[in-house]
Homo-oligomer: A and B are copies of this chain.
């Protein structure tokens, strides 16, 4: 396979990744709705610890564990933010209708 072939393969993987990330976002939002009328916190360190442990256990490589963790840290940050918007919908608005190409400050 040449570089163009591998890139087509990556584009195909990305389509699946994007669909799965959206499924995960949907689930995070549903949990947010369920938390809305409880006093469960958005940030649950024990649940996050389990997610990282699962990720490490499922990781067969070639992605090093530490790099997978880097990616998961970002995924969890994003999902926590989405969940927060479901728990406190009145604060929503501001983070929506953002431009894909907008400048990002973190």
Residue on B nearest A31 in the bound complex, by CB:
B6
A92 to chain B, nearest CB (A): 11
Count of chain A residues with a beta carbon within 8 Å of a chain B beta carbon: 65
As for how many copies of this chain the complex holds, the number is 2
Q: Which residues of B contact A29 (CB under 8 A)?
A: 62
In the assembled complex, A42 has its CB within 8 A of some CB on chain B: no
Contact B61 A14 (CB under 8 A): no
In the complex, which of the residues B6, B13, B25 contacts A62, with contact meaning CB atoms closer than 8 Å?
Answer: B25
A residues 74-101 touching B (CB-CB < 8 Å) = 74-75, 77-78, 81-82, 95-96, 98-100
Contact A15 B58 (CB under 8 A): yes
A65 to chain B, nearest CB (A): 4
Q: A66-B99, A70-B104, A100-B52 are contacts. A6–B20 as well, Cβ < 8 Å?
A: no
The interface of chain A, by Cβ under 8 A from chain B, is 1-3, 6-7, 9-11, 13-31, 34-35, 40, 47, 51-52, 54-56, 58-71, 73-75, 77-78, 81-82, 95-96, 98-100, 102, 104, 106
